[in-house]
Structure formats: structure tokens, C-alpha cells
Chain A
Amino acid sequence: MTHLYDIVKFGIYALMAFSVLAAILAVTVRNLFHAALCFAAVLIGIAGVFLSLHADFLAMVQILIYVGAVMTLVIFAIMLTERFGDNSSPQNNSLTLAAFGLAIVSLIAFSTISVKTRWPIQENAGALHLSVGELAYALLNTYVLPFEVISVLLITTLIGAVIIAKKDRVS
């Protein structure tokens, strides 16, 4: 069992590394289309991480919504603005160096905080299994108000996006 356990553990770490790598590619690659594909890879990786946290349903949602819907949108947008998709002008601006420094500094800072802080870990941490039914119950009872607000938000978004993106009749 130990063996299997280690393999799984290793797999998870590999997934994390893969995700981080893909993320780095997603923000550095010149071709935007490739960047989008890398981002999709990151999302799938994160879905795997969710699985490792026993959040099966969330992982499914992650893949369905993010990879399925949001990514499609992004790729469509890239195609519609084709001219800038893969041109030869630099994809990065003059802030690169400053941003890189800032990134390193904050990474160190956050990681230090993460490590140094004493988290109030639960007894049964990492072994909490949550059925979809329980999740649904929580969503439609305790959190029903935010849930509804979110639905209103989505409707609004839908209408708003249509109105913003449609061709202006006057001009």
C-alpha cells in the first residue's frame, strides 16, 4: 500500500509541477493561441489537484466550465482579433523586469508566510469525503441567497455581454 500511496503522492506533485510549468508558459509564450492552450493545461492540472483534495465534483465543474466554456470563449476572442494573435511584435511590455522582481519577492514572502503560520489543522484533515448530495444541500440551503445572486449576476452578464459586443446600430 505504501507503494501505491507514494506513487499517488508523487503523481500529485508531478501534476503540480506540470501545472506550474504550464502556467509559466501561458504567461510567457509569444503566440497567444499557444498561451491559451497552455492555460487549458493548467486548468486540467488544477482539476487533478482538486481530485486529490477529494473535491471530485469541483474538479468536474472545473473541467466542464473552465476548459469547456471559458477556454472556448478565450480562443474565439483570440481568433476574432486574429491580427494580434501571433504577430512579431513583442508580447511583453517594458515592465517585465520589475514584474519579475516583484514576482520573486512576493513568492518568497507568501511562501514564508504559508510555511511559518501555524494552521489550525483538523483531526481528520485530508480524509473528509463530501458527497454531491451534501454539497447540493449546503448550496441550496445555507448558501441559497448567494446562489441566487450569482444566478442574477450570470443573467446580467449574459445580457451585458450581448449588448456590449453587438454591433452598434447607430454607427
Chain B
Amino acid sequence: MTSYAYLIPVFPLLGFIINIFFGKFLKRGAAWVSILSSLASCALGLPAAYEVAKTGQIFSAHAEWLTLGRSTLSFGYLLDPLAATLLFVVTIIGTLIQIYSAGYMQDDPRFSRFFAYVSLFMSAMLTLVIADNYALFFMSWEVMGLCSYLLIGFWFEKNSAANAGLKAFLTTRVGDVGFFLGILTLFTATGNLNFTELESSVHAAGATPALALAALLIFCGTIGKSAQFPLHVWLPDAMEGPTPVSALIHAATMVAAGVYLVARSFALFSAFPSVMQVVVLIGTLTAFMAAFIALSATDIKKVLAYSTISQLGYMVTALGLGSLSAGTFHLMTHAYFKALLFLGAGSVIHGTHSQDIREMGGLLKKMPHTAWTFIIASLAIAGVPPLSGFWSKDEILLAAFDSGNKIVFFLLLVIAFMTAFYMFRLVFLTFFGTLRNHKIHPHESPATMTGPLWILALGAILVGLPGSPFFGHWFSNFIHGPVTQGTHEIHGSGAVHHALNWFVVGCSVAAGLGGILLAAVFYLGKLNPSVWVMRTFKPLYDLSIHKLWFDEIYSVLLVRPFLKLGQWLFIFDQKAVDGLVNAAGTGTVKSSNLQGWIDKHIVDGLVNLVGVVTQLTSATVRRVQTGLVQHYLLITFVSVILLMYFHVKP
């Protein structure tokens, strides 16, 4: 199975080609094309992942793609535990979400185009997962960005959607350019872009500043793609896209690719403690900030978007702390429960045609499937044992605890608390209580939508178990097995541990349950202290509701000056650069005019004198010009005769 791994992304690509060219004729069949293509990828990818898990081996093969001087870039696939994990996540979630979309997008006029884009995305994402070098990785990375752009702006008639797509692409592009430069730096420093040889080449080159720079620049890619501070602003806006897209791209898979990038480059990052500290800093900051904003968001998808940013920050922090397994593990569990949350939100939106949680309430009875799966996912993200989120979050907290960095540990706990709070604020406002806007007539979604919800719910419950002590931390052994064999673990925290740290577990559970409890107090009971909180902590509340003013600050500091600069330069171009050219032109004309004047009045004065004389002479002489041909002939002939006479005479 593994030797055909390169076919995994090919099926969705075929799906894309069929849908983009023949989608018009396929109509609803377009969904089948996409779903079948990703099922085919599942059929290839899952056995391959299983093979890796069973044997603990790495499978890879590559073919030459481009020769650059003495070094060669090759394209190939690499199936190691990391890739297998991602394959497991992407193929399953991708397929489920496409099945869900067939119901969700049912009435859309551009139905086939939607599935074409999703298939292209699947193809790019799967390529990225199994890519064996940075070049191929970057290419699929960018194509994913393109799909994200196209799908965010899928309903482009809405100005907000069109703008959100633009913003997403441009913001991530900034990070991507950093990533690109990072690749260049790495290639210049080591002459190698293959993941398999990354470790050895980093060792060979030693911890040079150039490599540290490469690591930092590559991290820029993560910052852009995984919506880390300060490039996180695009992700909340990206919620303008159809909800399945938010689930697939902006929650479960694509945004996690940034984390995957760090995990892939772990050998490079872990060689530089200072870079790792930057990673931790960014991760924690992002996680905290996003959680803070999520506290006050009222749009159901925006809450989830900020939650995603926050969780991604969590993963990045974990990797920065040196725990490859914790970060990857959380990536996997998060993909399941966050996809579930988004699909649930999509179901709610589908049923109510509203996104504002202040209008909802009491949906538990109207939409039981949606509600229960949503609650399961919320429990998972809040870190309630024994759901998946608990195990992964616990590992991250443990890594922080082991690193000895108490501030980070404390912050992560606070974030866990906030996460539980805002998630259950969402749950309570949406599903409990009574319906607040009576114009809404909620109804449960069709089976194509609820089916995937339950499957994902099952996943959200179960995928944490491989990492739990019940299975002897199988996952962490698996990840650490071949990839980092022989690597020195920085803080030792990533190393395999077989005992539970009950203090950490206690803190984690307390934070989760505390958050849920507080939310229940605020939003379930008749007592409603939220207004009081709002008033008392008004500055903080304002800060949160305005998303820390990021969009405004960027607009004033970056976007507008850039546009203005463009306009100024254009004016400069027209007035100065082109003006110079035109001035040269007019200058020439002017000076010729001056010369013309001199010519006319001085030089010509003399000439005119001559002219007058000439005129007088010619007035008489011109009489010869009778206009009669024969007169001319006569004169000519006489002249010839005379010439002959003078010539012959001597």
C-alpha cells in the first residue's frame, strides 16, 4: 500500500479536474465525485498510515524535479508517524465534511464549483502531508492558501466575503514570504531541503546564525498560516466562507498545517533554544489573546474562530516547549472536536438562518442531534476527562510544567479556564434557556449532516485514548519513535513518561470544570451577573469586544499608509519621473522655439535681404516658366545644340 502513497493526493485532484470542467453537467453529482475521490484517498491513506503505525518504519520515495546547479530538488513522499497522524486526520475529517457539505450546500447555485474547490484543497493538503521536502511542501501550502481564498470568498456577492478572502490571502502571504525566505536560507546554508536529511544536515552545519534565521523565517509561515499573533487577523474574517469550509480548512486541517510545519522542522527548531523561546512566546501570547477576545464574541462562528486561534497557540506553545508529541497530539484531537464544533455551528446556522447567539436559545429540544454532539465537543475542548481534549491538553500542560517555566504553565491554565468558559457560554446561550428571537423557526438538519456529526463525536471522544496512560502513552512513543531517534530532547519534557502527574491533572480538570461552572452561573441561572461584569470591567470588556483593536491598528499603521504610499509614488511617477521626460520633450521644443525666433529675426533678416533681391530677379526670370511643355522643349533643344557647338568648335 505504501508504495502507492503518491496516489493519495491524485484522486482529489482528479475530482477537482472533473468538477471544474464538467461540474455544470454533473449538477448534484459533483458532490459524489468529490466524496468518492476522497474516499479513494482514505482507502489508500488509512492502510498506509496503519502500516506505518504497525511497523514503525518510514516509507519514502522521490523523483528528481529540478536541477539547481550542483544540487537537485526532488519531489517525493515521506510516510513517517507524523505524516501518518495527519493522514488519519485529514482523510477522515475531509471525507466526513464533504458528505456534510452535500447537505449543507444543497441549494447553492455554484454547487459543483464548491466541491471542485474542496477537492483541490484536499489534494493540496494531502500533498502537503506526505511531502518529503520543503519545496513541495511550500507549493501545496500555497495552493491550500489559494483554496482557502477561493472558498472564503465563495459567496463573493457579499462585499464582506470578498474582502475577507483578500485579507486572508494577503495576510498569510506576508507569513509565506517569510517562510519562502526561510527555505532560501536553509537551502543556501545546507544545500538540502529534504525532511529526512534535515536532521543530519543541521548537525553537519552546526548551530550557525544562518540556520537560526532560517528557523525563525520558517516560523513566519506558521504565524501566517496558523493565524498566530500578529498575523491572526484573517482567521475570524475567514468565517465569511461556508461553514463546512470553516470546519475543514479554518479549523481542522489547513490552519493546523502551520503547526505541522514546525513539527516537520522540529530538528531545525530544537537546535536553537532561543528560537524555541520565540515560538513559546508567540504561541502563548496568541492563545491568551484569542481566548480573551472569544470571551465577548457573539457570532457563533467568530467564537469558534477565536477558539481555533487560541488552540493553535496552544499547539505552537507545546512544540516550542520541546514536546513534539504533545503538540501533534493536540493537533489531532483538536481537528476532530473543532471540526465537530464547526459542523454543529453550521447545523445551527442551517436550522436557524442566524449566527448571533444572542438571538438563539433552547435549541436543545429542536435540534437534539446537533445539540448533543456540540456539547460533547465542547466538553472535549474544555478538557473534561476522559474526552480526547483532556488527554492532549494535559500533555501540553505537563510539558509546560516540566519545562519549569511557571509563567507559561500558569498562563496555559488560565487559557484552559477561559476556553471552558467561553465554550460553555456558547453552549448555554445557544441550546439552553428559551429562544430569544421568535422570528427564528429552528429545525433539525438532514441526516447527511447529522450523520457526520455523530461520527465526529465518536472521534472526539475516542481519539484521545491512544495518548492516554491506558494505552501506555502509545501515541507519544509512536511519534517519537523513528523521527527523533537519537535526538537530544531539549527540556526532557518530550521524553516518554509513563506516570500521570496528578498535580497537573488536577489543575487541568479544575480549570476546565471551573470555567464550565462559571459559565453556568452566568448564563444558566436566573441570576445574570454578566451585565454587572460588563460594567465593572468596562475597559477590559471593550478591549475584548473590539478584538484588541487589531484591525483598526493595522488599518491605520499598515494598510492605509501602504495604499497612500502607492498613490504618492504614482503621483511622483507622473509628476517627477514622467514629468522629467516630458520636460525634456518640451524643453527641446522650447529651445527650438527660441532658436526659431533668433533665426527668424536676425539670421533671417540678412537672408531676407538676399531674398528681396532674389525675388526681384526671379520676378523677371520666372516669365520663362510658361507652363507650356513645348517651350521647355525648345529651350532644352537649343541648349543642347549650343553645347554641342561649343564642345565641337575647338
Contacts and interface: CB of A to CB of B under 8 A. Distances in A.
Contact flag (A, B; Cβ within 8 A): yes
A102 B637 contact: yes
B61 interface: no
A98 B641 contact: no
Contacts of B638: 102
Interface in B594-650: 630-631, 634, 637-638, 641, 644-645, 648
A158 interface: no
A105 interface: yes
A16 to B, nearest CB: 24
Contacts of B630: 93, 95
A161 to B, nearest CB: 20
Contact of A102 (B634, B644, B648): B634
A168 B634 CA distance: 34
Contacts of A113: 648
Contacts of B631: 95
Contacts of A95: 630-631, 634
Nearest to B644: A109
A99 interface: yes
A106 interface: yes
A113 B644 CA distance: 10
Interface residues of A, number: 9
Q: Is the interface of B mostly helix, strand, loop or mixed?
A: helix
Contacts of A109: 641, 644-645
Contacts of A99: 634
A98 B634 CA distance: 9
A114 to B, nearest CB: 12
A106 B644 CA distance: 10
A27 B637 CA distance: 18
Interface in A76-113: 93, 95, 98-99, 102, 105-106, 109, 113
A106 B643 CA distance: 12
A30 to B, nearest CB: 18
Interface string A47-73: 000000000000000000000000000
A93 B630 CA distance: 9
Contacts of B644: 109
Contacts of B641: 102, 105-106, 109
Contacts of A106: 637, 641
A98 B638 CA distance: 10
A164 B648 CA distance: 43
Contacts of A105: 641
Interface string A109-130: 1000100000000000000000
A16 B93 CA distance: 118
A109 B644 CA distance: 9
Interface in B471-516: none
Nearest to A93: B630
A64 to B, nearest CB: 30
A113 B631 CA distance: 26
A113 B648 CA distance: 9
Nearest to B637: A102
A93 B631 CA distance: 11
Interface in B30-63: none
A42 B247 CA distance: 110
B645 to A, nearest CB: 7
Contacts of A93: 630
A15 B342 CA distance: 121
A138 B634 CA distance: 38
A91 B630 CA distance: 14
A156 B631 CA distance: 30
A105 B634 CA distance: 13
B205 to A, nearest CB: 78
Interface string A23-46: 000000000000000000000000
Interface string B204-235: 00000000000000000000000000000000
A113 B638 CA distance: 17
A106 to B, nearest CB: 6
Nearest to A117: B648
A109 B631 CA distance: 22
B149 to A, nearest CB: 60
A8 B641 CA distance: 36
A98 to B, nearest CB: 7
A70 to B, nearest CB: 21
A71 B641 CA distance: 31
A99 B641 CA distance: 13
A50 B124 CA distance: 97
A104 to B, nearest CB: 12
A105 B638 CA distance: 10
Contacts of A102: 634, 637-638, 641
B77 to A, nearest CB: 73
Nearest to B648: A113
B636 to A, nearest CB: 11
Nearest to B638: A102
B32 to A, nearest CB: 67
A150 B645 CA distance: 34
A113 B645 CA distance: 11
Nearest to B628: A93
17 contacts: A93-B630, A95-B630, A95-B631, A95-B634, A98-B634, A99-B634, A102-B634, A102-B637, A102-B638, A102-B641, A105-B641, A106-B637, A106-B641, A109-B641, A109-B644, A109-B645, A113-B648
Interface of B: 630-631, 634, 637-638, 641, 644-645, 648
Given A99-B634, A102-B638, A109-B641, 14 more contacts: A93-B630, A95-B630, A95-B631, A95-B634, A98-B634, A102-B634, A102-B637, A102-B641, A105-B641, A106-B637, A106-B641, A109-B644, A109-B645, A113-B648
The 10 A-B residue pairs whose C-beta atoms are closest, nearest first, are A106-B641, A95-B630, A95-B634, A102-B638, A98-B634, A102-B637, A93-B630, A109-B641, A99-B634, A113-B648
